[in-house]
Amino acid sequence: MIGRIVQFFGNTANVRLKWRIFVAVLVVIVFADFLVLRDHGEYFWDLLPGWGAGFGFVSCVVIIFVSKFIGHQGGIMRDEDYYD
């Protein structure tokens, strides 16, 4: 079971299907967020439907780009043959 899942996500032929699954899951999460009662929000953005999903996605993208910048520009990443 795990082997088939790893092969599915590792295979480049499934790129379109993976993107469709990703978008479908995102749509389901945002749609489910419309069903939650919003009377307990502490800030005004807590009352916006889809805020958690959007904020989480943007946060993950920012973390990826910042870590890539630190790795490449900050001198943390080395070539594969650095120790040879």
Mean pLDDT of 34-56: 83
How far apart, in whole angstroms, are the C-alpha atoms of residue 79 and residue 50? Answer: 41
Residue 63 lies in a domain: yes
Residue 26 lies in a domain: yes
Residue 80 lies in a domain: no
How confident is the model over 50-67, as pLDDT tens digits? 788 789 889 999 999 999
How far apart, in whole angstroms, are the C-alpha atoms of residue 79 and residue 26? Answer: 36
Q: 10 to each of 28, 39, 47, 57, how far by Cα in Å?
A: 24, 43, 38, 22
Confidence of residue 74 (pLDDT cuts 50, 70, 90): confident
Residue 49 lies in a domain: yes
- pTM equals 0.57
Range of the domain at 18: 2-73
Cβ–Cβ under 8 Å, residues 14 and 8: yes
Residue 81 lies in a domain: no
Residue 82 lies in a domain: no
Cβ–Cβ under 8 Å, residues 49 and 29: no
Write down the number of H helices and E strands in the chain.
Answer: 3, 0
If one counts the domains in the chain, the total is: 1
